[in-house]
Amino acid sequence: MSRRLTRGLVTAAAACYTANVLFGSAVATGLIDNRRIRWVHHALYIATCTASGSAIVAGAVQRERAAVLLAPAVLPLAALPRGGGGRRHIALAASAAGPFVIALVRVWRRN
């Protein structure tokens, strides 16, 4: 595996997370009515978890610290389905932001 693969996986994970947060925020603020498209939020969540897991594994195999820095996001992501709705859901989702930002900055930083 190359560093380019790890960079791509971390970037994909961050993009999926961002898309999911934006979609969820649009639903929460009433900009989007998701009653008929509730599956979109769920599909974005699955894509986020899959891309994040792939990035973490690739980073561990490659000993790439940037991808491993994404690992703390696993806990809030895992808790989201059982976290309920409303403010608790928002807080859990927001608590995953830090690892995504840190990993993304680290993987794109020039050495």
pLDDT level of residue 1 (50, 70, 90 thresholds): low
pLDDT value of position 54: 94
- Tell me if 96 sits within 8 A of 77, measured CB to CB: yes
Domains of the chain: total: 1
Going along the chain, which residue ranges are E strands? none
Joined tokens for residue 55: 């990035």
Cβ neighbours, 10 Å, residue 22: 13
pTM to 2 decimals? 0.91
51: nearest Cα among 89, 88, 104: 104
Joined tokens for residue 90: 């928002």
**For the segment 7-54, what is each residue's pLDDT rounded down to a tens digit?**
999 999 999 999 999 999 999 999 999 999 989 999 999 999 999 999
Percentage of residues in the chain with pLDDT exceeding 90? Answer: 75
Cβ neighbours, 10 Å, residue 107: 23
Over 90: is that where the pLDDT of 75 sits?
Answer: yes
pLDDT value of position 68: 86
The string of DSSP codes covering 76-98 is HHHHGGGS-SHHHHHHHHHHTHH
- Residue numbers of the domain that contains 72: 3-108
